[in-house]
Amino acid sequence: MCYTIALNFEDGVTRFVDCKAGEKVLDAAFRNKINLPMDCSDGVCGTCKCRAESGSYDMGDDYIEDALTEDEAESGLVLTCQMIPSSDCVISVPVTAASCKTGQQVFAATVTRIEPHQDAAVVLELAVDGAAPAFLPGQYVNIGVPGSGDHRSYSFSSAPGEGDLGFLIKKIPGGLMSSWLARAKPGDRLDLTGPMGSFYLRGGEGPLLFLAGGTGLAPFLSMLEVLARAGSQRQIHLIYGVTRDQDLVLVDELAAYAGRLPNFTFATVVADAASDHPRKGWVTQHMPDEMLAAGGVDVYLCGPPPMVDAVRGYLDESGIRPASFHYEKFTPNAPLKAIA
Ligand code: FES
C-alpha cells in the first residue's frame, strides 16, 4: 500500500511523493530526495511543522506539547517527522521548494488538439512524454511559448490522471501564446514547468460555490471531473461570467457535469448590455443568496482582478463569512496569483 503525498511549498511549487504504509512523511520525502525542514526528527523541536490540507493520518503520541500543541493539531498542523498517512494527503510546507533542495519539474509534451472557439478562446490538449505529471485539481503549469524564450501560465482544465492534459486559453489579439497557437498544429512540441499554485480543491463535505470569470472556467472543469469521479454528493453551484456572448465556451461540458453530479447546478452570466442572454451583468448580481445565507460554503473564485475584488467586496458588504475562500487572480500576460 502506498499513498501519494502532495507537498505544496510556499512559492507554489508542488511535488508529489509516494509514502509507504507506516512510513512517516519526513522519511518518505527524504527518500524522494526532498529535504523537508527538520531538526530533531523526534517530535521535540517543532521545526518540521506543516499544515495538512487534506487526507487522513495518524500523529501517534510520541511528540511533546512544545513541538505541537493540542490546538495546533486540531487546526490541522502536523509534525512531518511523526505523521503517518492513512490516505493520500496534501501538505502545505511553509518554506520554498529550493530550501528543501527541490524545485519545479519540466515536462516535454506534444500538441494533440487545438480547437479555437471563435475569437474567445482555444482548447489546447497535450500529450506528455512519459508519465503524465501529477497535479491537484485547480493548479496550473507554465507553458513555454516556442521560439520566444518566454512562458505563459495556464490552469489545467483536465483532471489529474487523464491521458492528455487539457487547457482553455483566452485568445488575446497579438498575444504571445495566442499568436503561436494561430499557427500551431498537432505534433508541435512544448515544454511545461510545474505544477504550481495553492488554488486547488480541498476536501470536505460542505457546499461549494465556484465563481469563474472567462477562461477562469478551466480549473473548475478539473475540479468538477474529480468530484464527479468521486461520486460527490456535495451541493455545488457554479457561476460562469463572461463579457460577451461568444466568450461562453464549453457550456456543454458543464451541462454534462449537471448530469453526473446529482447536486450540481450552474448559471451563465454575460456582462454585455447588448446581449440577449437571460442573465446579464456581473457575477455578484447573481449570487446564490440562499446558499450563502445557509452558511458553511467553501467559495472558490478564478477570474481577472476586478472580479476577485468585486466578489470580496460583495462578501464583506453582505456580512457573509464563507467556511473558506480561495481565489486566483489572472491577467492576460502575467503569471497567476493564488491565495488560499
Ligand atoms: Fe523536530 Fe519534527 S523535526 S519535531
What CATH number did the domain enclosing 162 receive? 2.40.30.10
Cα-to-centroid distance, 67 and ligand 1 (Å):
7
Residues touching ligand 1 (Cβ under 6 Å) are 38-48, 67, 79, 81
Same domain, 114 and 178: yes
Q: Which of 25, 27, 30, 39 to mutate to test the pocket of ligand 1 (most atoms within 8 A of CB)?
A: 39
**Hey, what amino acid is at 241?**
G
CATH number for the domain spanning 31: value is 3.10.20.30
Question: Over the stretch 278-288, which tens digit does the pLDDT of each residue have?
Answer: 999 999 999 99
Tell me: pLDDT of 333 over 90: no
Of the candidates 122, 126, 123, 158, which has an alpha carbon nearest to the alpha carbon of residue 140? 158
CA distance 19 to 7: 12
Strands 57-58 and 49-54 turn out to be: unpaired
**Residue 187 Cα to ligand 1 middle (Å):** 49
Task: Mark whether 141 and 176 lie in a shared domain.
Answer: yes
Phi/psi at 162 (5° precision): -80, 155
Give the span between the Cα atoms of 17 and 103, in whole angstroms.
13
> Do 304 and 317 reside in the same domain of the chain?
yes
3-state SS of 116-161? EECCCEEEEEEEECCCCCCCCCCCEEEEEECCCCEEEEEEECCCCC
Q: How many domains does the chain have?
A: 3
Backbone angles phi and psi of 135, in degrees to 5 = -160, 165
Q: Kindly state the percentage of the chain with pLDDT values over 70.
A: 97
What atom in ligand 1 is closest to the CA of residue 37?
Answer: 3
| Rounded Cα gap, residues 253 and 166, in angstroms | 13
203 inside domain = no
**Crossing angle for the helix pair 218-229 and 251-260, to the nearest 10 degrees:** 20
Q: Are residues 238 and 317 in the same domain?
A: yes
Do 332 and 247 belong to one domain? yes
DSSP 250-281: -HHHHHHHHHHSTTEEEEEEE--TT---SSBS
pLDDT recorded at residue 340 = 40
pLDDT interval class at 339 (50, 70, 90): very low
Confidence at residue 132, expressed as pLDDT on a 0 to 100 scale: 84
pLDDT band per the 50, 70, 90 thresholds, residue 83? very high
| Mean pLDDT on 250-272 | 97
Q: Give the DSSP per-residue string, 159-202.
A: PTT-SSEEEEEE--TT-HHHHHHHH--TT-EEEEEEEE-S----
Residue 202 in any domain: the answer is no
Residues 183 and 217 in one domain: no
How far, in Å, is the centroid of ligand 1 from the Cα of 60? 13
Distance 64 CA to ligand 1 centre (A): 10
**Which comes out higher in pLDDT, residue 50 or 133?**
50
61 contact partners, CB below 8 Å, separation of at least 6: none
Q: Pick the last residue of a domain from 196, 229, 253.
A: 196
Average pLDDT of the residues in 15-29: 97
Residue 179: all three cell numbers together: 499568436
User: Could you give the CA distance from residue 97 to residue 87 in angstroms, rounded to a whole number?
Assistant: 23
Domain match, 40 and 155 both: no
pLDDT of residue 234: 97
Residue that is last in its domain, among 44, 69, 100: 100
Give, in order, the Cα–Cα distances in Å from 237 to each of 27, 206, 327.
40, 12, 16
Q: How far apart are CA 335 and CA 196, in angstroms?
A: 11
Residues 242 and 188 in one domain: no
In this structure, of 53-57, 183-187, 328-332, the range with the lowest mean pLDDT score is: 328-332
Is residue 90 within 8 Å of 83, Cβ to Cβ?
A: no
326, three cell numbers: 480561495
Q: Select from 51, 70, 100 the last residue of a domain.
A: 100
Angle at 132 between CA 340 and CA 250, to 5 degrees: 65
Same domain? For 114 and 78 the reply is no
Residue 42 lies in domain: 2-100
> Cα-flanking dihedrals φ and ψ of residue 71, to 5°?
-65, -40
Q: Are residues 332 and 300 in the same domain?
A: yes
Report the mean per-residue pLDDT for the chain. Answer: 94
Q: Is 249 helix (H, G, I), strand (E, B) or coil?
A: coil
Q: Residue 265: which residues within 8 A CB-CB, separation 6 or more?
A: 236, 237, 238, 258
Please give the distance, rounded to the nearest whole angstrom, from the Cα atom of residue 22 to the centre of ligand 1: 18
Residue 201 inside a domain? The answer is no
Q: How far is the CA of 326 from the centre of ligand 1 (A)?
A: 30
Q: Please check whether residue 193 is in contact with residue 141, taking contact to mean a CB–CB distance below 8 angstroms.
A: yes
Please indicate, yes or no, if residue 37 is contained in any of the structural domains: yes
CA 80 to ligand 1: nearest atom:
2
Is there a single domain that holds both residue 24 and residue 45? yes
Q: Which atom of ligand 1 is nearest to 46's Cα?
A: 4
Domain CATH code at residue 304: 3.40.50.80
User: CA of 169: how far to CAs of 185, 254, 310, in Å?
Assistant: 15, 17, 23
Neighbours of 282 (CB within 10 A): 17
Same domain? For 22 and 61 the reply is: yes
Average pLDDT over residues 1-27: 95
Q: Which atom of ligand 1 approaches the CA of 41 most closely?
A: 3
| Those residues with Cβ within 8 angstroms of residue 184's Cβ, 6 or more apart along the chain or in another chain | 111, 114
